[in-house]
Structure 1
């Protein structure tokens, strides 16, 4: 069968349709050579799953990947790793990469399903410094090794369970200098990262599972709204942004706290889990705290020019029963109070709430937190209101971007 020709111990697939598709693919003309070239039954199954279990379609994609694996060093890396899996820090260029992008990827990083997860401290990544010495080819060589290690780990899972696996990626947005500042500095080099991500997605389909942006400020939610339509659907559907105050609860649903670092609500010392991570003092990008006395209304705003995009959001501190009347308006320059444009009708809000707004001209976006209906109970909200980088605005307004 296809399994034997694809190398390794056969995987006891639990899905009868996948099993049948593997058999049908193995019987196609020219398949034997491609499968022998790949030497990985799991990869064959993942291509079938991604191509709707259509053997002809999957075989064509597999043929291209078999060629890519020979020239990219993936085949050679797999052969080395099957003998002995190296320490993560011994991967090519790893010491330089780890210096500029704090991360964790190891055999101890396993979620509640028994599948691997990885952590990248994106809010602390110095992408400009990273590519100061590193070429695109170097980055690709390192990423191939990471992907081959992940592939072996999900293969082991498949041999135990008969099911395809995936790797959950936690991208932490904690950023001492502010995420917008970081975005502006790193933006020019992000094209290389996107290129590498796209190449990995093509040659390791389904290997990357959910991408969870932890401790994400509201600006991240707004940037995602703009960029999501531009990303490949397979990638964009996987991305979930989780604000700071929900991060611990969300991650504990997925991963035991004994396997998580303290900065993600776990028990492992941060420095032990992610060596070199900058310990950010105090709340980071968590917004501004605003006290609203009983019977009072407080307003905060940001000045905008035409085409600017503002991201805003807030949550009410305290118990889940606490709420505040929230509304949002835009006051164009020179307009009378009655000329303000309603951005969001005022309503009582308990849940974390946010959005973004593209300014139609010069003026001020105003957030109104109204507690005048409460005679006794003061409220505290933590809010954010920030201007998105011009690169995002140019994409949103249809201008060519990178």
Structure 2
């Protein structure tokens, strides 16, 4: 057996765990394979998460970690975690939060789906901002784990999650919500492995089975095995894992805030006022409509002459999705090949426009494509707006 060491930023050993000789050798090899992307804080425990998530398959674990590094760069994760100011509607109405620790010292996080206004949130925030906020929450979870790790002699590396389904109804299987929730789950699974120790689904109504069946294929077998559906008689189950003093009164414990809040500051969402809804009256006039026949695609080509030009887009897809991408083609040559700038992704944005943009690193032709090639039976309508911002405009 070999010792597994967790080291904090000061180089102090936090915990030691024994690995089999085989797993120890795989860990050593994995560290060599990904040495070019590792940071000083990436200790053995950090590496082991990726190995575990891919069942110690070195190639798959390496791909997963390298994809995560790309993900962090693409989404500017450090900025989202430390500097980004999210829209007020997300801060006030995205149900959930952190309070207390389980009996092993793990942070306990709560998610209240029954009090989450799915319709309101999708009318009040863009898909991009919802996903950004999801990343911020995931980073907050990692921070809470690190803080606990530094307080205890034993190594803490994951959380306990309580999902409250009280008052959940048909809104949870509303397709637009399921689409964004599925993206959130995929993002979590791909980039925050081994974060979940156990999940307790409480107050689960009959519709939970239907909802779970619609999203479970986005979860790994390992994650599925950590989900415990408790129902309404959950108090004794939670107290077996969480001390009463660490469990809010609202959930059967004895904890409350100094001002007597039985929910201990956990956000329970609620109905979002329509004043937060994003209305597009000011932008409706600038949108153009295109109709994409079944099995076809439409390309919009823009000649960019100056390096540093910003190409922005907004579009609505109605009730159906389309495949969106941006490609680059060098001008002045006979070469017809293009290179991907924004890889193809199917997007449904029927309430709030999908918005994005790129900085053009070199002159040439940039091609925005809306594709319906995958649909054999249905044509699609897209309302879009494209904006080109020249370098001199950004300097003003």
Q: Same fold (TM over 0.5)?
A: yes
Scaled to the shorter chain, the TM-score interval is 0.5 to 0.7
Q: Distance in 2 between matches of 1:183 and 1:62?
A: 32
Q: Secondary structure at the match of 1:114?
A: coil
Shift in alpha-carbon separation, 1:276–1:228, aligned structure 2, 3 A: closer
Shift in alpha-carbon separation, 1:215–1:271, aligned structure 2, 3 A: same
Q: Secondary structure at the match of 2:17?
A: coil
Shift in alpha-carbon separation, 1:12–1:255, aligned structure 2, 3 A: closer
TM-score w.r.t. the length of structure 2 is: 0.56
Which ranges of structure 1 fall in alignment gaps of 5 or more residues? Answer: 81-89, 279-402
Shift in alpha-carbon separation, 1:94–1:163, aligned structure 2, 3 A: farther
Tell me whether 1:74 sits opposite 2:61 in the alignment: no
Larger helix fraction of residues: 1
User: What are the equivalent positions in structure 2 for 1:195-344 lying under 5 Å apart?
Assistant: 195-221=183-209, 224=212, 228=216, 231-244=219-232, 246-267=233-254, 268=256, 269-274=261-266
**1:275: how far off?**
5.1
The aligned counterpart of 1:55 is 58
Q: Distance in 2 between matches of 1:132 and 1:125?
A: 13
More displaced, 4-13 or 269-278?
4-13
User: What are the equivalent positions in structure 2 for 1:83-122 lying under 5 Å apart?
Assistant: 92-93=85-86, 95-105=88-98, 108-122=99-113
Does the 8 Å CA contact 2:50/2:193 hold for their aligned counterparts?
yes
Partner deviation per Cα, 1:292-325 (whole Å, 9 max, x = no partner): xxxxxxxxxxxxxxxxxxxxxxxxxxxxxxxxxx
Q: Distance in 1 between matches of 2:75 and 2:10?
A: 21
Q: Distance in 2 between matches of 1:4 and 1:255?
A: 25
Residues matched between the structures, number: 258
Q: Distance in 2 between matches of 1:51 and 1:145?
A: 24
Shift in alpha-carbon separation, 1:62–1:3, aligned structure 2, 3 A: farther
The aligned counterpart of 1:40 is 42
Shift in alpha-carbon separation, 1:252–1:224, aligned structure 2, 3 A: same
Shift in alpha-carbon separation, 1:20–1:256, aligned structure 2, 3 A: same
Shift in alpha-carbon separation, 1:270–1:4, aligned structure 2, 3 A: closer
Shift in alpha-carbon separation, 1:201–1:231, aligned structure 2, 3 A: closer
Shift in alpha-carbon separation, 1:20–1:103, aligned structure 2, 3 A: same
Work out which of the residue numbers 169, 172, 177 in structure 2 matches 1:180.
169
Tell me whether 1:170 sits opposite 2:159 in the alignment: no
Shift in alpha-carbon separation, 1:112–1:139, aligned structure 2, 3 A: same
Q: What is the aligned-residue RMSD (CA, Å)?
A: 3.4
**1:161: how far off?**
5.1
The aligned counterpart of 1:189 is 177
Shift in alpha-carbon separation, 1:22–1:77, aligned structure 2, 3 A: farther
Larger strand fraction of residues: 2
Work out which of the residue numbers 133, 145, 149 in structure 2 matches 1:154.
145
